[in-house]
A and B are shown apart, each in its own frame.
Chain A
Amino acid sequence: MSLFLRQARAVFLKDVRSEARGWDSLLIMTVFALLVLVVFNFAFEPGGDTRAAVAPGVLWAAFVFAGILGLERSFAQEREEECLLGLLVSPLDRGALFLGKWAASFLFMFAMELLILPVFVVFFNAPVGGWLLGLVGVAALGTAGFCAAGTVLAAVAGQTVARHLLLPIVLLPLIVPVLIAAVEATALLLAAGMGSDGGAAVGLGGWLRLLTAFAIVYLVLGLLLFGRAIGE
């Protein structure tokens, strides 16, 4: 494995190990996502029709808001233990640092999503079927892009005075394409799962391509810009 990938893996493992000491971030993300699902259910009419229509949006609102909490974890630790300085001084490739952090953020956010999906199925009385696997795929793609943008911006926002408040403000406008594509894809899959459109999710390909493109663009931008973002 190249030096670059080995460094990325080392960063990834370090982040995973430190999270594994208490699973704080995963716990908070999951509970918060759960709360968002609950709050939104109060926000909408308890009628059955509306529920099915808003389900995809509610799910992704929960993922996005919880995901933002998770992104903060990525740098909150470094700041508290002043590890960031240590990382900067080391000859670690900045791109590898980004990749490692991205991978860790992705892992935890995806894990949260897998935990929330069963709850989602229950709350919205969604059918259990093959479409859920498709949803897992959509979640993975969306989370990849979200975390790519989020890792860079968490580093940037972390250097501001109002860091917890600024990350959502800067990140949310940028990830709107992910939100749109993910919600649309989820809606198509859900409709297919409920059998209401003959089992075929027409148009899904386009949204998946958009999610993939976004993820690739932001991974590349992240690799290029992360070094400058943390202080070169």
Chain B
Amino acid sequence: MSRKLAPWQALASLLALVSVAAALVLALRWAPTERTMGDVQRIFYFHVPSAWVAFLCFFLVFAGSVGTLVGGRRGWDILALSAAEVGVLFCTIVLVTGPIWARPAWGIWWTWDARLTSTLMLWLTYVAYLLLRHYAADARRRATLAAVVGILGFLDVPIVYFSIRWWRTQHPQPVIMGGKGSGLAPDMALTFLVCLVAVTLLGAALLLQRIRLEYLRDEAYAADLATSDLEADRT
């Protein structure tokens, strides 16, 4: 399986490389400087797409978890764990670049507004997922246990989001990083689109790499086990 995915991964990596290079040029040089925030605003071009990719990955964790419980084939579990890792990576990027952008632009590092708080909860949920996988006592049970948490976690996302939003309407906090509704100049919109594609391709490339790695590890462990059996028979 690792070999079957190789051409796909190569393709994704190539596309990712090209699009990221283009995105960087557009975001850092070509796009016009924002009037009020200045150059710091350019963080936005990778901050928002990262959030999108993270969420996409977490959906894949959900899909993989359902697949694991319903079908039981290893491929679904591999999808879940790989998507969780890549998702947490991009979610971390969102949570770190956000405050770095907010501080010069709005004067504060953090605000417990609906979007930031929800993103933080998302991060915590999937970090917990990864920790659970890491500390599962029985490797055979790991997939099922993780799948249960993967399903509960994702289905909880809308509930968490709405409860936080509601909570915030009761006690309003400064909202930073005004949403897409703040209107983008056409040049900026184009840059954003290119960056969105680039980051998504990057995420896909990383995901495929992680999936291939897991298939490789499965192969290695299985071979190790089989050989140990043979050696034991021989002695």
What's the nearest-Cβ distance from chain A to residue B111, in Å? 16
Q: Chain A interface (Cβ within 8 Å of chain B)? A: 149, 152-153, 156-157, 159-162, 166, 169-170, 172-174, 176-177, 180-181, 184, 203, 206-207, 210, 213-214, 217-218, 221, 225, 228-229, 231
A-B pair number, CB within 8 angstroms: 92
Q: Chain B interface (Cβ within 8 Å of chain A)? A: 69, 121, 124-125, 128-129, 131-132, 135-138, 141, 144-145, 147-149, 151-153, 155-156, 159-160, 162-164, 166-167, 170
- In the complex, A184 Cα to B168 Cα: how many Å? 11
Given known contacts A173-B121, A184-B167, A217 and B135 CB-to-CB distance under 8 angstroms: no
Closest to B131 in A: A169
- In the complex, A15 Cα to B156 Cα: how many Å? 28
Question: Do B132 and A166 touch across chains, with their CB atoms under 8 A apart?
Answer: yes
What's the nearest-Cβ distance from chain A to residue B175, in Å? 18
Residue among A160, A172, A174 making CB contact with B137, cutoff 8 Å: A160
Residues on A with beta carbons closer than 8 Å to the beta carbon of B125: 173-174
Question: Do B131 and A181 touch across chains, with their CB atoms under 8 A apart?
Answer: no
Closest to A145 in B: B159
Given known contacts A160-B132, A169-B128, A169-B131, A149 and B163 CB-to-CB distance under 8 angstroms: no
What's the nearest-Cβ distance from chain A to residue B178, in Å? 24
Residues on A with beta carbons closer than 8 Å to the beta carbon of B162: 177, 210
- Residue of B69, B149, B163 contacting most chain A CB atoms (<10 Å): B163
Residue among A160, A207, A210 making CB contact with B136, cutoff 8 Å: A160
Given known contacts A159-B136, A160-B135, A153 and B152 CB-to-CB distance under 8 angstroms: yes
Which 9 residue pairs spanning A and B have beta carbons closest together?
A177-B163, A160-B135, A173-B124, A173-B125, A170-B128, A180-B163, A161-B135, A169-B128, A180-B167
